[in-house]
Structure 1
Amino acid sequence: MPTLLTHPAVPLALALGLGRSALSRRLLLTGVAVSVLPDLDVLAFRLGIPYAADFGHRGFSHSVLFAFLAALAGSCLFRFFRSTFLQSFSFLFVAVFSHGLLDALTNGGLGIAFLWPWSGERFFAPMQVIEVAPLRLSRFLSLKGATVLWSEFLWVWLPVMGMAFNGILLRLTLNRYSIKPVPKAVMDG
C-alpha cells in the first residue's frame, strides 16, 4: 500500500486543479480524511482476521461498493460542506476509490477486492510500479522507507500534481478568454 502521506495526493490535486471556489475547505478536509479510510482495515490483523479474508486487509474496504457507500454517507452532509449533494458525492467517491486504485499499483500484497461482495477475487493493476509500504514503523524508518517515499513521489505525487497544474492552466485560460463554465444550477438538474 502507499503510505498515509500519499493517499491524500488525489483529493489535494483535485482541489488544486479545480480551484478554491469549486470546493469548500470542509469538503477538501473530509476528502483527505476519507482517502485514508480504507486502511482502517489493518485493525483486522489485531482481530485475528486473515489478510486474504473478505474483511481482511485490502478486502471490502477497498471495494467500489465501500467507496460508493462512504461517499453516499458523507455527501449527506453537503450543506455542512457548503456544496451540492452531487459535487460532495463525486469528490468523496473519487477520494475513497482512489485509495484502492493506488494500492492496486503497488508491488506487494494480495491485490484489491474491487468487486466485493459480488466477488472476493483480488486484483492488481497491469503495472505495479509503486513500492509497497511496510506495515511496521520500524521498517518504514529505514532504507526501505526511503525507497517507498521516492517511489510514491515518482509514481503518484508527480503525476497528480501534473494533473492539478493542467487544471490550473485550464482555469486560467478560461478566465483569460472569459469562457464561463456551465452554471451549477444547470449541472445539478
Structure 2
Amino acid sequence: MRIGDRRVRGQQAVSLAAFPDEAGGSCSTSISIITSASSERDRCRCRSTVPTPISHAAVGFAIAAWTQQRLPTGRVCIVAAACAALPDIDAIGWPLHVSAASLFGHRGITHSLTFALVTAAVATIVFFRGNQWTQGRARIALTLGLALVSHACLDALSTYSVGVEFFAPFSQQRFRFPWTPLGPGSGGVLGQLAQEAVVILLPAVLVGWLGIKVRRRSVPSRAAAA
C-alpha cells in the first residue's frame, strides 16, 4: 500500500490518502474536501458498504414526495424510484470485463450529471406524455433529475471504489465526498446492510412518509379554499 500525494492524468490529486495495491485489501481514506481518482488500480477492493437498489429507490420516492406541488401520483413515485436506481445499469459491464476506469465502467457515465439530465427528459416524455411542456411536466422532470443525481451522491458517500464520474463525458475525473459514512461494515453482510439501513434506507422512508403525509393534509385545505 502506498501513502501520500498522487497524480491523476497529469494533475495533482486534491487529497492525501492511503490507496491499496491491486492485491491489497485496505480501503482508501480521504482527509480533504474531495477525493479524485481515475486509475483502475486505485479501486478499493475492501468490503465497503454500498447503497443497494432498494435504498436508492427509497431516496427517489422521498424526493418525489417532497418535490411535487400536490400529492404525487403512484406513477411519479414509481418512475422516480426507478430513476434513482437506474445508474447501476452499468453493472452489465462486469461480466463483459469493461474496465472500471473507463467511461462506461462502474460509476462512470451513467452516474454523471449529463446522464441524469438526458434521462430525466426522456423519462418525462415517455411516461408523462402531453401536447406541451407544462409547469407540471417540468416539475416532474426536475423530480426525476434529482432522483438520478441522488444515486451518484449516495455512491460518493461510500469508500468503495475510486469515486464517481460526476462530469462525464467531459471529464473522467472521479470524486468522493469527504464524509463517507458508508465504510467497511462490521459483522459481514448483515453489518453492511444494517449500516445502509441506518444511514440511508430508514431516513429515506421516514422523509418520504412525512412528505406524503404533509401533501395529504394540504389537499383538504385547498379543497376548502376552492
Is TM more than 0.5 here?
yes
CA RMSD of aligned residues (A): 2.9
**Structure 2 stretches of 5 or more lacking a match?**
1-49
1:160 pairs with 2:198: no
Aligned partner of residue 176 in structure 2, secondary structure? coil
Q: 2:175 aligns with which of 123, 129, 132?
A: 123
Tell me the CA shift for residue 150 of structure 1.
Answer: 1.0
CA contact (8 A) 1:2 1:132 kept: no
Q: Counterpart of 1:184?
A: none
Higher-strand-fraction structure: 2
Q: 1:25 aligns with which of 74, 77, 101?
A: 74
Deviates further, 14-23 or 84-93: 14-23
Cα separation, partners in 2 of 1:132 and 1:34, compared to 1, 3 Å: farther
How far apart, in 2, do the equivalents of 1:132 and 1:75 lie?
A: 37
CA contact (8 A) 1:100 1:112 kept: yes
Q: State the Cα deviation string for residues 55-76 of structure 1 (Å, max 9, x = none).
A: 1000000000001111010111
Q: Counterpart of 1:75?
A: 124
How far apart, in 1, do the equivalents of 2:184 and 2:219 lie?
A: 41
1:102 pairs with 2:154: yes
Higher-helix-fraction structure: 1
Q: Counterpart of 2:101?
A: 52
TM-score (norm 2): 0.64
How far apart, in 1, do the equivalents of 2:87 and 2:100 lie?
A: 14
How far apart, in 2, do the equivalents of 1:89 and 1:146 lie?
A: 36
Tell me the CA shift for residue 155 of structure 1.
Answer: 1.0
Cα separation, partners in 2 of 1:132 and 1:122, compared to 1, 3 Å: farther
CA contact (8 A) 1:62 1:113 kept: yes
How far apart, in 1, do the equivalents of 2:89 and 2:216 lie?
A: 39
Aligned-residue identity in percent: 30
Q: Counterpart of 2:189?
A: 145
Q: Which amino acid aligns with 2:193?
A: L
